[in-house]
Structure 1
Amino acid sequence: MFKIVPKQMFFTKGVGHHRNKLQSFELALRDAGIEKCNLVTISSIFPPDCKIISKAEGLKLLAPGQILFVVLARESTNEPSRLVTAAVGLAQPKDKNQYGYISEHHGFGQNARQSGDFAEDLAATMLASTLGIELDPDKAWDERKQHYVAGKDRLFVSRSVAKAAHGHKDGLWTTVLACAVMVVD
């Protein structure tokens, strides 16, 4: 049986404004650089031995019409000044042979940092629970070392990408998106 296991992944984000909601999403995809692909949303497993590459490097690997697997967070509003946010977080054991978790978060009233931090906490909590570990993200985060400490010896690294924007002043649709893009060779 043929298995599709991505070997590379990159993060991207975007924002778009338009009088039509769908077109604001299209403009956000353009801002993120992935508008030329057919997106298939997937759930939240970061494969073992998957390498995180830069957005610039990842975009060079894409072709028009390509099927592209993404973990996607998106939010829209047509209310002037309303703050919308979208974030994708990754939690990965330091052991690259284990799988990690990707989480998506979208909502209102959070800036990009708050949204990104929340997405990272979600991913770390989900990963810990699959390993049978209780994790309180507020207590497990080691600010100095920039990783999660869970259980006796397990360490998690995390990162996120987030985009926040205020609704357009003229009531145009504003769409923000953040995604983890899986590259399949």
Structure 2
Amino acid sequence: MIIKTPTSHTFVTGSSEGYTPLNAFDGALLAAGIGNTNLVKMSSIVPPGTREVPITELVLPPGALVPVAYAAMESDIPGSMICAAVAAAWPTDPAKPGLIMEYHAHGHREDAESVVRRMAEEGMRKRGWEVKTLKSMAIDHRVEKIGAAFAAVVLWDL
């Protein structure tokens, strides 16, 4: 069971082709740098006070249970464009948590990133919080046979 409150967050993306949609998804996780962990999909709250660290500094033990908010898209339509995006917004009050939104679709990364940023802004508005910082990351993938696109915010205790 995950019992520690995360102290860091990391944005990652990856895409891949695969023999099946699951193989493509697995390849996208490997491309994102988190393929040898067990993802625990979570609702989308970033604890107050976390700091952002690049994936190169995040040491995740193989097989670790890793909290992650993510968007993933798989397709077996050759030539189609798929995308996944995440955005996180932090309020002006540092005692309050941040908010992550996820989005996936057929289309280009720029469109997905625009949508997910608006989603994060709307989530903050619903809470009555002013946005201090908003960060997003997206990826797209042109499907050859069977493809996957993956975007996530990984939470971890450093």
Question: TM-score, normalization: structure 2?
Answer: 0.93
User: 1:70 and 1:155, CA in 2 relative to 1: closer, same or farther beyond 3 A?
Assistant: closer
CA distance in 1, matches of 2:32, 2:84: 13
The structural deviation recorded for 1:52 is 1.1
Which residue of the other structure, out of 136, 148, 154, is the alignment partner of 1:175?
148
Q: Quick one: distance in 1 between partners of 2:32 and 2:112?
A: 18
**Distance of 2:9 and 2:52 partners within structure 1:** 5
The answer to whether 1:125 aligns with 2:122 is: yes
CA contact 2:121–2:131 (8 Å) conserved in 1: no
TM-score by length of 1: 0.80
Alignment of 1:1-185 (within 5 A): 4-58=4-58, 61-109=59-107, 111-131=108-128, 154-168=130-144, 172-185=145-158
> What is the aligned-residue identity percentage?
26
Partner amino acid, structure 1, of 2:19: R
- Alignment partners' CA distance in 2, 1:57 and 1:117: 28
Distance 1:120 1:6 in 2: 23
The alignment's C-alpha RMSD in Å is 1.6
Structure 2 Cα separation of the partners of residues 104 and 174 of structure 1: 19
- The 8 Å contact of residues 91 and 123 in structure 1, kept in 2 or not, is answered as yes
- Aligned-partner SS, 2:84: strand
Mapped partners of 1:163, 1:71: distance in 2: 15
Q: Which residue of 2 aligns with 1:139?
A: none
Tell me, which stretches of 5 or more residues in structure 2 are unaligned? none
Q: Structure 1: any 5+ residue segments left out of the alignment?
A: 134-153
Query: Following the alignment from structure 2 to structure 1, what is the Cα–Cα distance between the partners of residues 41 and 54?
Result: 20
2:156 partner letter: V
Deviations 1:132-157 (A, max 9, x none): x6xxxxxxxxxxxxxxxxxxxx3431
Large movers: runs of 4+ above 6 Å? none
Alpha-carbon distance in structure 2 between the residues aligned to 1:47 and 1:128: 18
Equivalent residue of 2:102, what SS? strand
Cα shift at 1:50: 0.9
The residue that corresponds to 1:147 in the other structure is: none
Counterpart contact for 2:89–2:131, Cα < 8 Å: no
Instruction: Deviation per CA, 1:13-42: give whole Å up to 9, x if none.
Output: 100101211111111111001011011000
Q: Which has the larger radius of gyration?
A: 1
**Which residue does 1:142 correspond to in 2?**
none
Q: Is the CA contact (8 Å cut-off) linking 1:84 and 1:107 kept in structure 2?
A: yes
> Is the 8 Å Cα contact of residues 26 and 35 (structure 2) preserved in structure 1?
yes
Shift of 1:3: 5.2
